[in-house]
Amino acid sequence: MISLTVSTEPTNASIPTIRQYPDSPDEQLAQHAKHNKFKNKAGQVLVHSPDIYFGVGENALDATATRKLAGKVARAISHLEHAFLAIDLEHPRAFFEGLLLGGFDPRLYGATEIEQTKLEVASEHQKDMQQAIEIAEAVNQTRKIINTPGNHMYPEIVANLASSLKGVEVEIWDEQKLVEENCGGILAVGQGSERPPRLVKIHKPGSGKKIALVGKGITFDTGGLSLKPPEGMVGMKYDMAGAATVLGVMQAIAGTETSADVTAYLCLAENMPSGRATRPGDVITIRNGKTVEVLNTDAEGRLVLADGLSLASEKNPDLIIDVATLTGAAVIALGNRYVGAMGDSDAVEQVQTAAGKAGELVWHMPLPEELAELLESDIADLMNVKIGNKAGGMLIAGQFLSQFVGQSDGNQIPWVHLDIAGAANNSSAPYDYTPKGASGVMIRTLIELIMQQGNQE
């Protein structure tokens, strides 16, 4: 873990100093290239005892490359107890973000305490550092929540975490309230568990544009009665990453000045098999009155999101964004680093612009109209899956969700669906500023988007 403090000069002259490598290294420094530990297209990190040098190459780094390089620096200094940072980069805030995000340690349990590297920073970078700390704290807290196993992180616990946020209004619906409010999707998914479902609304009032965030929060997904195979169940604690993401966004913007009016809906349930669980073939009624024939109880995320999207639509916002680890098809189509975005083209473009500034990867996927026909049911308004169909799974899920986005002035409310199934969890080695485990993807993008929207009066 990395901690940042402000100092005009190192408090201990003997501690290592992290210095920027010259654009054109002289021969004396160049001969230390044999100690090179990390490389990327932008430059390299050199360990040159007692100081640490990082290279930026001949060209100036943009914010994304700066953030990535800082993540590598964070791992290079992880063995240090104390260091001093002396840099002169064009994007200092991005560098601090990369340090704090790349220096995150995913371990939650163990006999040994996680060691922390204290990093002193020159005082002229204080404002950039403070902004980076606020964002990184939200991302790293979200990572911890997502990494926490299902026996310690279930709907009630997530709701309690949300209730502790300062600077926002929080409302929690228990199972009885969910019945009263006709949230049939969340209830159907959660009824098989001994840990009942919750819906959490978090509101940051504002005088400007109204933005709704909806997060899928399946704290553990067994598949319900459509039981997953054992290997498919490993890692299903990550199935609440969408709800954790919007919770992290609300944490970050709670104390931020923006005119945007933002409401988050966390749709929380544990999908378990039992004598009370929803059966394949059951018909349920969603908040907006539409009926769904549930043919696969392992396609449960779209059911809880249906209630959340219906609720969000009732407030007639200017933009709705839902975030979910929704489909394995997203991983097949886009791999493990890209997020699939579907919905209103202009709104998707806004998300992509914000993602570009945040240095996150978003790919615009289509929503072919003909796929909606596959979800037609003989006995209800629609089915939650087309049994036997393997084509376009991510897109079919998006078409399902679109049925629960309301209308304003005769047109569908601008809406974006973000399928983060691939990018939410890094199961391989750390890279750039992404640790192993939960990545915290899309938090910084959504913060950037909200700030942009807040400036559009």
CA 78, CA 299: separation in Å to the nearest integer?
41
Which two three-digit tokens encode residue 155?
């709907």
For residue 50, say if its preceding peptide bond is cis, omega within 30 degrees of 0: yes
Which two three-digit tokens encode residue 331?
């991983």
- Set 72, 302, 386, 444: catalytic member: 302
Going by C-beta distance under 8 Å and a sequence separation of 6 or more, which residues neighbour residue 316?
A: 210, 406, 408, 413
CA 317, CA 308: separation in Å to the nearest integer?
13
* Residue written as token pair 């009263």: 180
Written as one string, the DSSP assignment of 78-142 is: TT-SEEEEE---S-HHHHHHHHHHHT-------SSPPP-EEEEE-GGGHHHHHHHHHHHHHHHHH
Cα 394 to Cα 22, 244, 330, 339, 384: the distances in Å are 47, 21, 6, 11, 13
Going by C-beta distance under 8 Å and a sequence separation of 6 or more, which residues neighbour residue 229?
A: none
The phi-psi region of residue 335 (left if phi > 0; otherwise alpha if psi is between -120 and 50; otherwise beta) is left
Estimate the share of the chain in helix, then strand, then coil, as percent rounded to the nearest 5.
35, 25, 40
Check if 302 is active-site: yes
Cα 391 to Cα 332, 336, 358: the distances in Å are 11, 19, 32
- Torsion angles phi and psi, residue 402, rounded to 5: -60, -25
- Torsion angles phi and psi, residue 67, rounded to 5: -65, -45
Which two three-digit tokens encode residue 437?
């485990």
Cα 417 to Cα 363, 367, 447: the distances in Å are 11, 11, 16
CA 70, CA 42: separation in Å to the nearest integer?
11
What is the CB-side half-sphere exposure of residue 241 using CA atoms within 13 A? Answer: 30
- Residue 221: strand pairing partners: 271
Judge contact between 26 and 94, C-beta under 8 A: no
Which secondary-structure segment (H or E) carries 334? helix 328-334
- Set 228, 290, 315, 337: catalytic member: 228
Query: Which active-site residues does the annotation give?
Result: 228, 302
